[in-house]
Structures are given as structure tokens and as C-alpha cells.
Amino acid sequence: MTDLAHPVNAHAPATGPRPAFPDLRGQRVLITGATEGIGWAAVQAFAAQGARVVFNGRRTPEDLAPRLQALRADGGDAHFIAADIRHTAETERLVAEAVAWAGGLDTLVHNAGGLVARRPLAQIDDAFFDAVTDLNARSALHATRCALPHLAASARARGCSSAVILVGSVAGHTGGGPGAGLYGAAKAWLHNLVKHCVAFHTADGLRFNLVSPGTFDTAFHADKDAAARQRVSAGIPLGRFGQPAECAPAFLFLASPAASGYITGQCIEVNGGQFMP
């Protein structure tokens, strides 16, 4: 989507100087669900900092090769692995292959997730429940579980904390919009998963935090026409949808031990004022 097609974003800031996190250079980062939108913006942001980035999607995008070529031409280092992490075995394979390619793991950004479809509570059957929770909850649990020993080994070797960053949602706080109640519940579950991990895995040298996006200009909202977008934007104090690149600095900050080494168990809200806890 472009600002030209959706003028509610006419006042989105132009891309400016990138924030600098020198300690991210050489970091080994795995980002799940990152072939488009916020996930792809995170891949670009970490690569620009000099990190070694592994990212995944269920299938290989047709335009992946030129995007990777452009990223590498700018000095970035990224590697794609196709994996459907709704399934535990695929998640285990993804983490193992990521560690093998990068030589270890310092940061996990679990971005994989999605609405699946909008259904009111009366229409949620077992198959739909499984589809939503497998994508948004099961995948986060097992990605974190599989990454933990590698992140802990990195923390011991480097003498500084490793990071797990889960991607929540404003829906995890508000309960979700029409037909998104199960999605909102799955995202709220991530907040409790983080609290559990802080309580029982901080001693492993890990920090656990969330980034919680509001309404962003991604495929998630492709079903909204201009009038619907205008209505949603009117409820956001900044008056527009966010752009994916505007979420990326939150991931960089939470991955940097120098910038956020004393921050754990927290949620950074990136929502233009849409929700203020």
C-alpha cells in the first residue's frame, strides 16, 4: 500500500537517519514471519545495523531474490528459510537451521502471527480455534522454547544478555475489533508468556519483552477501503496508520544490551496514541 493510494498517511514522516546501535553489529538474529510488513522492515533494520539476520515465511516469496540482492548491495547480511511454524517440527527445524547458518543466536524476534479471518464468537469452531492459536500462540511458545538454549549459550559466551522479543498487538489489550476476539486473546496470552519467562529464565542471561503494534499500513488491513481507513485513522491521535519502518527501531532498542540491558518484562506500545496503558 502507498500513501498516494491512501491519503490518510499523507503526513507519515519521510525516512530519515537510521538509529545507531553499534552493539548490534555481528549479532545473530532470527526473525519469524518476516517476508512482508513489520517483519520485513525489522529484517532491513537489523541488517542495516550489521547484524546477521535469518528470517522465515511459510513459502518463498516470488520477489525474494531481488529484495535480498538489494539488501546485500547495501552491506546487509540476511538468509531466508521457508518454514511453517504453525507446526512444532517446522519450528524446531527453523531454529536449528538458523543457528547452523549464523553460528549461534543472540536475539529472537517472534513476529509470526495473523488474524486468519474475522469471526464472531458464535462462529468459532475447533478448526478455527486451532488455526488462530497455532499461528499466534503455539508458534511463539515453541520458537521461544527452541531458541532458549542457544540464546543462553550466547549470553554466557558474550557476557551480556540475549533477547527474546515477541510481537503483541493493541488487540491484546483491547480485546480486538469485530470478529477478532480470538486473535486478541491469543495476543494477550503472549503477555503472560513473557511474564512467566522473566520469572523463570532471567537467570539464563535472557531478557524477554514485547513490541505491541497498533494499526499499521500492512496486508493485515488490506480489506479496508479508503472510507474505513479514514474512520480508523480518526480514532488514532496521530491521525494515520503507522508505517512498518516506524516499528523497527523498537526491535533494535530491545535487542541492544547497551540500550536496554536493564529492561525486561516490558511492552513497548507503537500505536500513534491509539492505546495508552
Task: Please work out, in degrees rounded to the nearest 5, the angle formed at the alpha carbon of residue 152 by the alpha carbons of 94 and 189.
Answer: 65
Per the residue annotation, which of 183, 212, 233, 260 is the catalytic one?
Answer: 183
Mean model confidence pLDDT for the chain: 92
Helix axes 139-158, 88-102, angle to 10 degrees: 30
Give the pLDDT score at 24.
98
Q: Is there a domain that residue 54 lies in?
A: yes
Q: Per residue in 162-181, pLDDT tens? A: 999 999 999 999 999 899 99
Per the residue annotation, which of 154, 169, 212, 256 is the catalytic one?
Answer: 169
Asked if 169 is an active-site residue, the reply is: yes
3-state secondary structure 136-191: HHHHHHHHHHHHHHHHHHHHHHHCCCEEEEEECCCHHHHCCCCCCHHHHHHHHHHH
Residue among 173, 176, 150 nearest 163 (CA): 150
Q: Is there a domain that residue 3 lies in?
A: no
Q: Is there a domain that residue 11 lies in?
A: no
Give the pLDDT score at 210.
98
For residue 48, the Cα-to-chain-centroid distance in whole angstroms is 17
Q: Per residue in 14-60, pLDDT tens? A: 455 667 999 999 999 999 999 999 999 999 999 999 999 999 999 99
Give the pLDDT score at 224.
72
Q: Please check the confidence at residue 10 and state whether its pLDDT lies above 80.
A: no
Give the pLDDT score at 233.
87
* Phi/psi at 206 (5° precision): -115, 150
Give the pLDDT score at 17.
60
User: pLDDT band at residue 11, thresholds of 50, 70 and 90?
Assistant: low
Residue 64: domain span: 21-270
Return the percentage of the chain with pLDDT > 70, whole number.
92
Asked if 187 is an active-site residue, the reply is: yes
Q: Please check the confidence at residue 252 and state whether its pLDDT lies above 60.
A: yes
| Under 8 Å between Cβ of 78 and 132 | no
Q: Is there a domain that residue 95 lies in?
A: yes
Q: Please check the confidence at residue 257 and state whether its pLDDT lies above 90.
A: yes
By CB neighbour count within 10 A (0-12 exposed, 13-18 middle, 19+ buried), where does 265 fall?
middle
Per the residue annotation, which of 139, 154, 162, 187 is the catalytic one?
Answer: 187
Q: Per residue in 58-109, pLDDT tens? A: 999 999 999 999 999 999 999 999 999 999 999 999 999 999 999 999 999 9
Q: Please check the confidence at residue 5 and state whether its pLDDT lies above 90.
A: no
Q: Report which of residues 253 and 214 the model is more confident about.
A: 253
Quickly tell me which residue has 538474529 as its cell: 29
Q: Is there a domain that residue 105 lies in?
A: yes
Q: Please check the confidence at residue 8 and state whether its pLDDT lies above 50.
A: no
**Number of Cβ within a 10 Å radius of residue 107:** 28
Give the pLDDT score at 60.
95
Residue count of the chain: 277
**Parallel, antiparallel, or unpaired: how do β-strands 77-82 and 107-110 relate?**
unpaired
CATH number at residue 90: 3.40.50.720
Asked if 212 is an active-site residue, the reply is: no
Q: Per residue in 98-153, pLDDT tens? A: 999 999 999 999 999 999 999 999 999 999 999 999 999 999 999 999 999 999 99
Q: Is there a domain that residue 4 lies in?
A: no
Q: Per residue in 199-245, pLDDT tens? A: 999 999 999 999 999 988 876 766 777 887 888 888 899 999 999 99
Q: Please check the confidence at residue 249 and state whether its pLDDT lies above 70.
A: yes
| Under 8 Å between Cβ of 15 and 243 | no
Q: How many domains does the chain have?
A: 1
C-alpha distances in angstroms, 76 versus 52, 219, 241, 243, 263? 8, 25, 28, 21, 27
Give the pLDDT score at 13.
54
pTM of the model: 0.91
Q: Is there a domain that residue 275 lies in?
A: no
| Under 8 Å between Cβ of 43 and 67 | no
Q: Find the farthest-apart pair of alpha carbons in the chain and give their distance in angstroms, rounded.
A: 53
Q: Is there a domain that residue 163 lies in?
A: yes
